[in-house]
Each structure stands twice: as structure tokens, then as C-alpha cells.
Amino acid sequence: MLPLTISAFLQISIMQTLYVTTPIYYVNAKPHIGHAYTTIVCDVFTRFNKMLGKNVKFVTGTDEHGKKIEQSATKAGLDPKKFTDNISQLFRDILPVLNIFNNDFIRTTEERHKKAVSAIWNKLSEKGYIYLGEYSGWYDIRNEAYFSEDELIDGKSPLGGEVTIMKEECYFFKLSEFEDKLLKFYDENPDFIFPETRRNEVLSFVKGGLKDLAISRASFKWGIPVPNDPKHVIYVWVDALTNYLTMLGYPHESDMNNNQYWQNSIHFVGKEIVRFHAVYWPALLMASGIRPPKQIVAHGWWMSEGEKMSKSLGNVQDPVKYCKLFGSDSLRYFLLRELSFGSDGNFSLEGFIGRYNGVLANAYGNLCKRVLSIAQKNCSGIVKKTEDEADFIKEIEKILNETIELVEKYAFNRYLEKVETAIAFANQYVDQQKPWAIEDQNALQNILHNLLIAIIQITKFFEPVIPIAASKVLSQIKVLDNKDIVVTNSDDSLFPRIDASKIGEFDVFERE
Ligand code: MSP
């Protein structure tokens, strides 16, 4: 059953389609909490929108070409294909652990993708946007990008990578022709880049002038060959960005401009790769005759225990260990609740335990446990509907309805704050009404009925974040056609309290 509040919303909303994407992850290291975060954000956004009745396609995958990966494979003593098979599998395997419900998973080494990238290249070439030239400059291998001398900062690339001088023949994309077109596009589509701070950065970058972009490399082999000139491979970012089209069936599905998913595409990315998504990608698409995606949504970065996450500090938080110790629901909840979307945040075990015990175990867990067990013990598990809807339910609905706008604005922490407000309001109602002390069955059933409806509504809105616990709770409360409620099994503890004094005993960091 849909909660009343959602059915009311559905009456006014038109069925809408959405296409939600994560960045595709480099396969040179195993997945860590930063990767898990982007994927979980997309999963929650998808589930929330599905709950509202929207048709959402949600995709993720791995980015497997380029010099950096070729080098990592050599270091591991493996050929690149074998190396990427192994690490890509780790990214695939973590999805069920995090309880991710994606529709597709792409590897850029797949045939369908090679076809899409070659097709884009041919389109750009046909339209006269590619020419052969020579590049000489500083190359940042980690980020696979060229920079001129004056762009370097303290001898490193502006993206922070080590640089080496390189000179090579390569193909260029006429990016410089897109400066005005891009600025016009940003102006006409003020929501294209979210949040505002990232939009401003992009605007000033483009206003500073765009140079043509080197889009092929001849100094290594691990990539998709340039059509008709196989001594070059296609630049890994042109290759990687095209994944978003591959998963919609391009080039077989050729009319992206009328594709409902593409028209409503949202690329979630970390703040460090906004430029690729908000400048190069729309320019490449415009040049190929395809409309840019609808929105680029950028999030901030996680620090760990107050410091930059790094292997050498041994503070890389391991998402798999969190799931094994405390369950995927609680990791999903913490990641969304702790970080104000768009800003940087700090991941600490202490913070995690604090929120887990405070909200999941105490506030939500106890609300469900208290109400379900009184319903079972004092009403034999059957709670009849006796009176009209109470003001209490209306207030819960009002609070929960406010989450819709917050999720639309990617304010995930504030969405969860609202859910917590609704939980606190319901707990307050229990404390005031003291159902355990009521002897009159009619009065008791009326109060319990209100509370059970409130729990259903709260749980529906909480479900995108804590799907396992939510489905457990919802399976224990059945609303019959005549609105009476049957309650079963209240004994399980949803979120057993974590003993904070044992904090030193939990092994949550990644070890080699
Ligand atoms: N392969 C490119 C993306 C190509 S998309 C067409 C890439 N991959 S990546 O593996 O380096 O990481 C991608 C994403 O991981 C980042 O955009 C970011 O979302 C996430 N994060 C990696 N480390 C992170 C943190 N410490 N904190 C938060 N997210 C971070 O870039």
C-alpha cells in the first residue's frame, strides 16, 4: 500500500522518466568509501523517485582504458585485460553488498561501448571538428590530461598529479569553437550545473578561453583505436564520457535527442571531475548533434578521521567492513546524513556510531519495537480502525511531504533530518499517550492505529536509505481492506545498539 501522502502527490505529478548515472570508476584501485558514496547517493535518489512513481534507469560501471591503467597492469605483472577483469569485478561485487539496485553495469572494454565511441568519433570527424596536429606540453598521467607550462602549480598539474614533458602527434577536437555556444547554453540552462559554486567555477573557466583539446594518444596502446588510424588510441575521457550514451543503446538507438532517458539525464559526479562533464562533454555532444545532458550534479569529498584519506596514513575507510559489521542500511544512512551534499565532510567511526545509536537504534528502532510489541501483547496483534484520521497523522504527513522538495534539490541530509523530525514527533506521541497504561480497548486501538499508520508512512520515506530494515518493518504491519491492521513478529531488533566503549576493537580500515 502506498502511504496516503504519496498517493496524493501522485495525483498531481505527471509520470516522469529519469536517467541517473554514476561516474564510471577507474580500475586501478579497489572501491573505497568515496566510490561507495557516489553510488549510494544515486541509488537513494533512484529509489526515492521510484517511490514517487517515476520511471528511473540507473547505471554505473568501470573506466578501463588509458596509460595509467596500462601502467598499473604492468606493475602487477598482468596484461591489461586480465588486470581490468579482476578489478572491474570488485566494483561489480560491491554493489549487492551496498544493496545497490542498478539497471546496467558497463565496462569500457565491452564491444557495445567500442562501437559507441567509434561512432561518436566518426560523427565529430564527418562534421569537421577533428584535425591532426602535434601536441607538446606537460602530461598528467594520473588524470590523463595535458597542461601548458603556465597552468602548472608548484611543478604539478592543476589537478594535483605529477607531470612529465611529452611531445606527440595527435588529433585535436575544435573545443575553441564552443566557447560562446557553451556560455549561451549555461545561460539558457541555469540549472545545468549544480551546485552554484561549481557552476561559477565552470563559467569562469570557459570565460577564460578554451583551447582545442587533444583527443588521441600515440604513446601507448591500451585504448580504443582511432577509426582509420590505429596507431592512435582515443583519449580516455572521450572514451569514458561516451559510456552514458552506450548504456542507452547508442549508436544502434541513434535518435538521442528524442530519447526520454537522455532528455532527463542526471550525471552525479565528484567535484574534481566537473570540468570534464560540464565543459568537454556538452561540447563534444553539441559537435555530434546531440543535446547535452540535463544536469551535472557535483558532490564534495570525504576526509577520514579528520585527514585526507590515504593508503600511507592507513585511514582509508573500507565500505565492505562497515557493511559486515553494522549492515549496509546503516552505512547508507550515515553517508547521506553526515555530509551536506556538495560540501566536503569527515568520516569517523565515532561519528558513525553516534548517529547509528542515536537515530537508527534509539529513535527509529525503539519506535517500531515499542508500538509493535504493545500491539501484539495488548491487542493480540489486531488493531481496529475506530476513528477518523487524527491531526497527529496529518502532521506526520506534512513533515514527510517536505522531503520531496529537499530530495529534488539534492539536500539529502536535510531530507533525513525531516524523517528524524517525524520519528521524534511519533515518539513524543507515544510518550504523551502512554498506550501501555491504557485499559480501554477502543481508546488503545485508536492510538495504536494512528501510530502504526505513522510508522508505515515514516518507513516508506526512510526506505530509499534503509531498504532492508524498512522492508522488514513493512512486512510486519499489514493493513486490511477494511483498514484494520494486523501486526506480526515484533521481536527482532532492527538495529542492535553498538557498544561505543568497544570502538577500538572494530577493524574498519582498508588493509593491503
Ligand atoms: N574514471 C573517472 C570518471 C569517468 S566518468 C565518465 C574517475 N574515476 S575515479 O575512480 O577516480 O573516481 C570517480 C569518483 O569517485 C569521483 O567522481 C568521486 O565521485 C568518487 N570519489 C573518489 N574519492 C572520493 C572521496 N574521497 N570522497 C568522495 N568521493 C570521491 O574519476
Task: Give 442-477 pLDDT, tens digit per residue.
Answer: 999 999 999 999 999 999 999 999 999 999 999 999
239 and 104 share a domain?
Answer: yes
Atom 22 of ligand 1 has which residue's CA nearest to it? 34
Return the pLDDT at 305.
86
Return the pLDDT at 386.
79
144 and 275 share a domain?
Answer: yes
65 in ligand 1 pocket by Cβ < 6 Å? no
Return the pLDDT at 151.
87
CA dihedral defined by 141, 142, 148, 152, rounded to 10 degrees?
-130
Return the pLDDT at 145.
82
Domain boundary among 269, 299, 329: 299
Atom 16 of ligand 1 has which residue's CA nearest to it? 270
336 and 457 share a domain?
Answer: yes
pTM of structure? 0.94
Joined together, the cell numbers standing for residue 39 give 553510488
345 and 285 share a domain?
Answer: no
CATH code, domain with 137: 3.40.50.620
354 in ligand 1 pocket by Cβ < 6 Å? no
Is 156:141 a contact under the CB 8 Å cutoff?
A: no
Mapped to the 3 state alphabet, what secondary structure does 189-202 carry?
A: CCCCEECHHHHHHH
DSSP, res 219: S
284 and 356 share a domain?
Answer: no
Expressed as residue numbers, the domain containing 468 is 311-487
User: What number does the ligand 1 atom closest to the CA of 25 have?
Assistant: 10
Is 403:415 a contact under the CB 8 Å cutoff?
A: yes
Q: Could you give the C-alpha distances from 46 to 25, 106, 408, 480, 488, in angstroms and in order? A: 19, 18, 11, 29, 30
37 and 139 share a domain?
Answer: yes
37 in ligand 1 pocket by Cβ < 6 Å? yes
273 in ligand 1 pocket by Cβ < 6 Å? yes
270 in ligand 1 pocket by Cβ < 6 Å? yes
248 and 327 share a domain?
Answer: no
Atom 5 of ligand 1 has which residue's CA nearest to it? 23
87 in ligand 1 pocket by Cβ < 6 Å? no
CATH code, domain with 407: 1.10.730.10
**Integer Cα distance of 48 and 469 in angstroms:** 16
Whose cell is 562534421? That residue is 127
Q: Tell me the best of 21, 25, 340 to mutate to test the pocket of ligand 1, counting ligand atoms within 8 Å of each CB and taking the most.
A: 25
**Integer Cα distance of 60 and 496 in angstroms:** 32
Residue 36 lies inside a defined structural domain of this protein: yes
**What sign for the dihedral angle of Cα 113, 114, 118, 119?**
negative
Residue 43 lies inside a defined structural domain of this protein: yes
381 and 434 share a domain?
Answer: yes
Ligand 1 centroid to Cα of residue 22, in Å, is 9
Atom 21 of ligand 1 has which residue's CA nearest to it? 34
Ligand 1 centroid to Cα of residue 470, in Å, is 29
Atom 17 of ligand 1 has which residue's CA nearest to it? 270
User: What number does the ligand 1 atom closest to the CA of 277 have?
Assistant: 6
Domain boundary among 278, 299, 320: 299
319 and 452 share a domain?
Answer: yes
Name the 3-class secondary structure at 77: coil
Residue 494 lies inside a defined structural domain of this protein: no
Residue 159 lies inside a defined structural domain of this protein: yes
247 in ligand 1 pocket by Cβ < 6 Å? no
65 and 150 share a domain?
Answer: yes
**Integer Cα distance of 461 and 484 in angstroms:** 22
Residue 1 lies inside a defined structural domain of this protein: no
246 and 152 share a domain?
Answer: yes
Return the pLDDT at 14.
54
Return the pLDDT at 2.
46
Ligand 1 centroid to Cα of residue 367, in Å, is 38
341 in ligand 1 pocket by Cβ < 6 Å? no
309 in ligand 1 pocket by Cβ < 6 Å? yes
Which portions of the chain are predicted below pLDDT 50?
1-2, 4, 10-13
Domain boundary among 250, 274, 299: 299
Residue 325 lies inside a defined structural domain of this protein: yes
Return the pLDDT at 414.
98
34 in ligand 1 pocket by Cβ < 6 Å? yes
**Integer Cα distance of 472 and 102 in angstroms:** 21
Q: Which long-range contacts (CB under 8 A, 24 or more apart) does 208-212 make?
A: 209/176, 209/179, 210/175, 210/176, 210/178, 210/179, 210/182, 210/279, 210/283, 211/175, 211/176, 212/133, 212/172, 212/173, 212/174, 212/175, 212/176
Q: Tell me the best of 22, 24, 38 to mutate to test the pocket of ligand 1, counting ligand atoms within 8 Å of each CB and taking the most.
A: 38
**Integer Cα distance of 375 and 69 in angstroms:** 58
| Rg, Å, the chain Cα set | 26
Report the domain count for the chain. 2
Residue 455 lies inside a defined structural domain of this protein: yes
290 and 316 share a domain?
Answer: no
Residue 511 lies inside a defined structural domain of this protein: no
User: What number does the ligand 1 atom closest to the CA of 240 have?
Assistant: 6
Return the pLDDT at 231.
96
Q: Could you give the C-alpha distances from 3 to 286, 291, 384, 406, 417, in angstroms and in order? A: 43, 38, 18, 19, 20
Percent of the chain with pLDDT over 90: 86
